[in-house]
Structure formats: C-alpha cells, structure tokens
Amino acid sequence: MPEHTYPYQPRAHPRDKPAFIMAATGETVTFGTLETRANQGAHVLRAQGIDAGDHIAILMENRREMLEVCFAADRAGIYYTTISTHLNPDEIGYILADCDARLLVAGDQFVNILTQLAPVQADQCKIMIVGAPSGTYPFWSKEVSDQKTTPIPDEAQGLDMLYSSGTTGRPKGIKWPLEKSPPGARTMLIDLLNGLFGYGPDTRYLCPAPLYHAAPLRHAMVTIKMGGTAVIMDRFDAETSLRLIERYKITHSQWVPTMFVRLLKLPEAVRARYDLSSMGMAVHAAAPCPIDIKHDMLAWWGDIIHEYYAGTENNGFSAITSAEWRAHPGSVGRAKLGVVHICNADGHEVSVGTEGEIYFENGQKFAYHGDPEKTRACTNARGWTTLGDIGRLDDDGYLYLTDRKSFLIISGGVNIYPQETEDTLLGHPAVLDAAVIGIPHEDFGEAVHAVVQLLPEHENSQDMAETLMLFCRSKLSALKCPRSIEFRDTLPRSATGKMNKRVLKSDYWDKS
C-alpha cells in the first residue's frame, strides 16, 4: 500500500474539471461546483442538528443531487445509507427506523410513497426533497443555496452504511467504524480500489448501474476523490453504453454479467459501430459470470476485463485479471484483502479442491447494525468471517464459487433473499407450505420461482398461481415477487423442519 495520504477531493483538483457527468442530460458538475455544494450540504446537515456519528438516508434515482448529498455527508462525519428505489413504504420505513436516520433526502417522484410512512417514523426522521419543490416537505436545493460555501468548522470523514439482506429476509446495515480523521485521509477503500483498478486523475469511469448499490456508489466516489471523472447513466441500455464509451473516451467501467449478456445480444453491426479503444479496464462482479459469456466478452473487448468477489461487508476481497482467468476459467481470483479459508460445517478447514463455506481472515472489520447475534453468527472461533457463500480453492490459491449463499437468488446482479417472500406466501390462507428458489433465466441469470403446497381444500390452478403472485406484489417490492409458481403435493423438508432446496433446484439446474 502507498505510504502517502490522499488530499481531500474534489478540493485538490482543478475547479473547472468535470467531477461527474449525468449521461442522459449532459449535466456536468465540476470539482469547483461539487466543492461548493458539498460544503453547503454539510452546513445544512449541521443546521438540522445532525452531528458527526449521526445517520442520514438517501432515496433517489441516479441524479446529480445523490452524489452531492453523499459528498456532504462524507465530509460531515456522518453515516449515509442509500435505499433501493424498488422498495415499498414498509421496507423503506424499516430501514429508516433500523439505521436511526435523522434525515431522509428523497427524489420528488417518491413523495407519494413517503406520505405512507408510519407517523412515528415521519416524526423521528425529517424529510427533504430534491427535484421539484414539494409543499409537504422542505426543498433540499433551497436549503443548500442559503448556506455558506466554506467548509464546516468541524469537518470529519463520513462513511456509507449500506444494507445487505440476511437469511431472515430483513436487510441489515453493514457498519464499519468511522475514521477518526479529517476528510481526505487515506482509507482502506481508496487504497484497495485504487491499487487494484488504478483510478486516478486521468480516469473516465462509466457507471451504468444504480448508485444505491454498494459497488457503483463506492467506485464512482473513489474515481472522483482520485481526481477522475465519473459518467453516470440514469439506467442501463446496451447500445447507449457503447455510445457513451466512445463519446467520453471512457477508460474504466463496471458491469454485472446480465449487462454482458445484453451487450452480446446486440447485432454485430451495432457492436462494431462504436470505438471502444479508450477503455483499458472493465470490471465486473455481483454475480458469477457464465464461462461462455466471459469468453465471448474477452474475444470482443480483449484482456481488459477484471473480475472480483466481495460482499458489501468487504470482510474480504478477491480479484482476477483476464490473463489469470484464462488460466483459471470460472475463478473469481486470489485474495487481495484478507486470507481465504474453506471450512466444513464443523468449522474445520478442508483440503484443496473440496467445497465448503468461504471465510476470510484479517479482512475489514464490520458489524451488522443492531444485530450482534448475526455478527457473531458469521464469525468463527478464530475470528474469521463469512458471508455464507460456498466455494473451493485450487492448488494455486484461486477461489471458485459453487453456490452464492445456499438460498440466495441473484437476478440481474441484484441479491434477493427468499425468506421474506416465503413468509409472505405462507401468510395467504390457501398456502400450507412454500419454498422460493432461483431458476435459470436467459437474461437475468436467475429468476424468482415459488414452489407451493396448498391446503387440501384448495385446487392447483393457473388462477391460484396468479392470485398468489398478486398477493405477493401487494406486500413486497416487485424484485422479490415470484415470476412463476408451481404446485406440489409435498415439499422436501427434513425431520427437523429444514427445507432441502438443493432437491428443488436440481430439477431446474441439472437440466439447464
């Protein structure tokens, strides 16, 4: 790791250089403008009584204010949580209450959702709106414009606290200790990402994914802090991505395998239309990439594709270059943060090539906010931590994933945990038992599928399947709802009541 400290960005970079560009509109925020708005935003937070160590939340689509609010919190010593725009009011309210948010800054299109939050949550968490002013809530931009443009006197390094669902289905905040330093001091995340992917003043980074996800947010902010320029798409579109790479001479980009599939499905004439020669680093993660898809992308883009494996927790991190992957196809690389261990159900290390649960030793320390039991559950007697993923190591120390958490569904790069969906189905009066699994899907990798056992007085039918899907949609965000439902007379539970999902999944994956 380098021994120097990093000057706080955007303060140390040319004021007229673009810090980030909103691709859909071309709106450009320079380092000077970001510096001004981040300072003003920090003053707003202090004016609202939000001090270092407190917590705010952000609910908005990819727009300039999202990064500006994050940078304001980042220099005010505040934890900030970005919330998925796909969640319903109950799910949003849960996160606000769980993280003890003192303020929610939300996009104007979510006003109707915000009015449905429980009154007690609205009383405990102030709300401000970006976009069009709302008569119901204060307007963030107006509050910002009224503040000083100089730094707040008690600047401190802030930090994200992002949420990752657990096996219970309820999301849990992943909390790292706040840095006891002024903004701009060296951090683990800057060291790690800069060391692996070379973000710097000449970087032009394309972000095609929602900023409420960990990787897009962190990579975009590190790019800006290192003096590069981030180009932010409002939503992913395959051809638009290629057009932006050519237009902005993108050097770095980040993807999930689903995006690779969409890119490869473009007609050959369209793929050949754009000059991609500026791009020297294309990073992908979030879900295992099919080997054939990766081979096709390497054939198209060349050996610029880098893959990594990590969780939002960052308890460990592995990475692999294109050349390494060609020698170890299917691997997610060797450890770059922490030491990898593969353990059996008893917690003992297994031999090379044997599958087991993946643990990291000496990784980033973290805790699940408000859930010490879950924090303890992912830590073994030696202090190693796991995300519950299953994998194996080869003789050269390369890691291979064989199951991304036993029950986890990864659809289009989004993690979906089935317990909450199962609990919802079990709440329907016609359902006796239910299991939710991921089944193969050509575009998304996996699709949410439910296997249901009805009570004897109810008949299996397409009408019943549609009724249950509508029931789920009334309770859950769309991403968590089944795309398909099948009925069975019995489900494979053990004598202790545990569902054997491997049996259910084998009917689909063994044939795929």
Select from 305, 160, 158 the least CA-distant residue to 218: 160
User: Would you state the structure tokens that stand for residue 110, as one six-digit string?
Assistant: 């979510």
Between 388 and 204, name the one with better pLDDT.
204
pLDDT at 15 over 50: yes
Mean pLDDT of the chain: 89
Q: 56 near 73, Cβ under 8 Å?
A: yes
Q: Pairing relation of β-strands 334-337 and 317-320?
A: antiparallel
What does the domain layout of the chain look like in residue ranges?
18-235, 418-509
Q: 126 near 102, Cβ under 8 Å?
A: yes
pLDDT tens-digit map of 353-384? 998 899 999 988 888 988 898 889 899 989 99
Beta bridge partners of 307: 284, 320
- May I ask the CATH class of domain 418-509? alpha beta
CA distance 337 to 318: 7
CA distance 100 to 330: 41
Quick one: pLDDT at residue 467?
97
Inter-axis angle of helices 257-264 and 291-301, nearest 10? 60
What confidence category does residue 281 fall into, taking pLDDT thresholds of 50, 70 and 90?
Answer: very high
Q: 238 near 210, Cβ under 8 Å?
A: no
Quick one: pLDDT at residue 251?
98
Sheet with 159-160, strands from edge to edge, namely 126-130, 103-107, 55-59, 79-82, 159-160
Quick one: pLDDT at residue 167?
36
The single residue listed with the structure tokens 């930090």 is 159
Domain at 18-235: CATH architecture: 3-Layer(aba) Sandwich (3.40)
Q: 132 near 50, Cβ under 8 Å?
A: no
Quick one: pLDDT at residue 96?
92
Select from 115, 108, 61, 112 the least CA-distant residue to 83: 61
pLDDT tens-digit map of 283-310? 998 777 778 789 999 999 999 999 999 9
